[in-house]
Structure 1
Amino acid sequence: MGLGDIAPGLIVRHTNRRLGKLDPCEACERLISGRISFSEFVDQVGEEYKELLDFMMDNDLHPGRPEEVLFCIDCHAGLYDRTLLRSQLEYLYSHGRRESIG
């Protein structure tokens, strides 16, 4: 993939940066604000948000827009997946912004 092939708004999945160890709240806040990539976030907190991150990547969603993510979950996820994804999204925001979503 060349530089001309990069689509605008594409979410970065991998980088070469070395962040050092962040606490989970800081990692969540950085993901929500777009300051770290999904792969950097997983490096920091582990796999506990795997399904949510996969869903957001598959649907080209940004974690800084929880209402959009929630709408997409409600429209495109099955019943079991919907429950799991909603709980992971709520957990992400409980660590990142101290506010509740839908």
Structure 2
Amino acid sequence: MAQQVKTKATFPSVKWFEAVKKIINNDDGYKRFGTCDASVGIKVPEASKYFVITFEAFEVGDVKETDERAAEDTDFWIEQTYDQWQEMITNIADN
């Protein structure tokens, strides 16, 4: 699962989430984590960026940019500062 995709996408953006989606959906190793049926809001308030990501069984489904209200009208949402998101992404990439 140490797959990488080269993209010019910058976090946070739909293009960035689509690149992550491609990695997950094309690697059967992620299926060992089990299934998930949920809509998840992603919030980066200081950048005024909000997303909804839909998970369907073993795959990442739809990814769309939205407003804060729609990001909160999900099964759950994750909200962090931009720096916290960057720290988490770096930690995932390094480990």
TM-score (norm. length: structure 1) = 0.27
Judging by fraction of residues, say which structure has more helix: 1
Judging by fraction of residues, say which structure has more strand: 2
Higher RCO (C-alpha under 8 Å, 6+ residues apart) = 1
